[in-house]
């Protein structure tokens, strides 16, 4: 009995504790991301934003959550009930599951697996199912159009995103996220990676259906897109999933391009600030770019979005992979050679 306790119960409790240490700050961060978005957008439009609930409106996210919980869940008569309810749950679960491999600091990661990058890529490519299922199960034309748009959009941007990942992996020689952060490379490699960083951020905007690529929602033409028919908690789960995916993509960007938990530009004097704080600051920086883009850019037209993905990003990233590989080979800087 004692054997069972030490081999199974203790590790399971320890893992559960570690998961809570990631998930609880994540949910809090997500709640305040909605607040930050409203405040930043307000500042850009010379408004005040939420100011009523709590000091400077700081309790606004909780007021919103309580309001959503108190509403009635409506399932349309013509809807496919099982798929209709599964869709938001799937979106939310997938956005949480991906955090299992994100290293917040040196050694502070739930599962330090060897194929971390592929795992993240796999999970983020599955995110489209929640939206597609929601669009189909709602049995509504607006929702269906939103779902189809989401599917086409995510598939087109995933290809160039994969090629960006290949470029990064060429310079690190490992699929392990912790090793990607700690990998050292010469200064010109960072310079060559900068265009890939820009493309990755834009693809991340498209992947998370954020403005200016928020066509699956497209309020002005599709009412609310794939989530027209959703209300109360089912809508809240979609909402949570979208913001969680934003934080996840920012986390991925900071791990792949911004050096994760390490101080910026390798300044050793800043090393006294703990790793998780640097990681959080970098995530916040990328999140600010997300919101900034929303405040600045008008929505893309659908064919322009497709053109950007297939005719601009795909050839460019493909050429850049070849260029990067050539440059690394020429300078004998390929890792593992």
Q: Measure CA of the first residue to CA of the last residue in the chain; give whole Å.
A: 51
Put residue 298 in one of left, alpha, beta given phi > 0 → left and psi -120 to 50 → alpha.
beta
Distances from the Cα of 269 to the Cα of 178, 263, 265, 273, 321, angstroms: 22, 9, 11, 9, 34
Task: Give the angle subtended at the CA of 62 by the CAs of 57 and 66, to the nearest 5°.
Answer: 130
Does residue 63 bind other proteins (CB under 8 A)? Answer: no
Indicate whether 154 belongs to the interface with other proteins (CB under 8 A). Answer: yes
Q: How far is the CB of 169 from other proteins (least distance, A)?
A: 10
133 scored as a contact of other proteins (CB under 8 A):
yes
Select the residue interacting with other proteins from 22, 75, 307, 335 (CB under 8 A).
307
- Is 65 or 166 the residue whose CB approaches other proteins more closely? 166
- The residue (of 296 and 304) whose beta carbon lies closer to other proteins is 304
- Does residue 151 touch other proteins according to CB under 8 A? yes
What's the rounded Cα separation, in Å, for the pair 228 and 76?
11
Shortest gap between Cβ of 88 and other proteins (angstroms)? 15
Instruction: Pick from 51, 110, 115, 280 the residue near other proteins by CB under 8 A.
Output: 115
Per-residue x/- track, 164-203, other proteins (CB under 8 A): ----------xx----------------------------
- Which residues touch 289 (CB under 8 Å, ≥6 apart)? 201
58 binds other proteins (CB under 8 A): no
In sequence order, which residues have a C-beta less than 8 Å from that of residue 155 and are 6 or more positions away?
128
Give the whole-angstrom CA distance, residue 131 versus residue 87.
7
Q: How far is CA 86 from CA 117, 133, 171, 201, in A?
A: 27, 8, 40, 29
DSSP lists the bridge partners of residue 105 as 108
- Binds other proteins (CB under 8 A): choice among 48, 73, 296, 304: 304
Interaction between residue 152 and other proteins (CB under 8 A): yes
Residues of the shown chain interacting with other proteins in the complex, contacts defined by CB under 8 A:
8, 80, 83, 113-115, 118-119, 121-122, 125-126, 128-129, 132-133, 136, 144, 147-148, 151-152, 154-155, 158, 174-175, 303-304, 307, 336
């Amino acid at each position: 009995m004692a054997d069972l306790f030490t081999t199974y119960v203790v590790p399971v409790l320890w893992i559960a504790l570690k998961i809570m240490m990631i998930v609880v700050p994540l949910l809090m961060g997500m709640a305040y991301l909605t607040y930050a978005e409203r405040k930043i957008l307000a500042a850009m439009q010379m408004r005040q934003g939420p100011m009523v609930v709590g000091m400077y409106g700081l309790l606004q996210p909780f007021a919103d959550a309580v309001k959503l919980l108190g509403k009635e869940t409506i399932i349309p008569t013509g809807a496919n009930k099982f798929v209709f309810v599964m869709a938001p749950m799937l979106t939310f679960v997938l956005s949480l599951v991906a955090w299992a491999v994100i290293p917040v600091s040196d050694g502070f990661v739930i599962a330090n697996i060897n194929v971390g990058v592929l795992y993240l890529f796999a999970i983020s490519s599955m995110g489209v199912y929640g939206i597609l299922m929601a669009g189909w199960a709602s049995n509504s034309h607006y929702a269906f159009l939103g779902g189809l748009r989401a599917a086409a959009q995510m598939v087109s941007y995933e290809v160039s995103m994969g090629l960006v990942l290949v470029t990064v992996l060429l310079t690190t020689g490992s699929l392990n996220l912790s090793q990607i952060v700690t990998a050292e490379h010469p200064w010109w490699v960072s310079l060559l990676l900068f265009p890939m960083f820009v493309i990755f951020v834009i693809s991340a905007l498209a992947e998370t259906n954020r403005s200016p690529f928020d066509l699956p929602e497209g309020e002005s033409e599709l009412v609310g897109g794939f989530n027209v028919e959703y209300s109360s908690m089912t809508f809240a789960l979609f909402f949570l999933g979208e913001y969680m995916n934003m934080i996840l993509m920012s986390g991925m960007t900071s791990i792949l391009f911004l050096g994760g938990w390490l101080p910026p530009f390798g300044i050793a004097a800043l090393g006294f600030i703990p790793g998780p704080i640097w990681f959080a600051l970098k995530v916040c920086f990328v999140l600010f770019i997300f919101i900034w883009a929303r405040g600045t850019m008008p929505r893309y037209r659908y064919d322009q979005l497709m053109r950007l993905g297939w005719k601009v990003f795909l050839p460019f990233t493909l050429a850049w992979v070849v260029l990067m590989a050539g440059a690394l080979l020429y300078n004998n800087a390929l890792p593992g050679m």
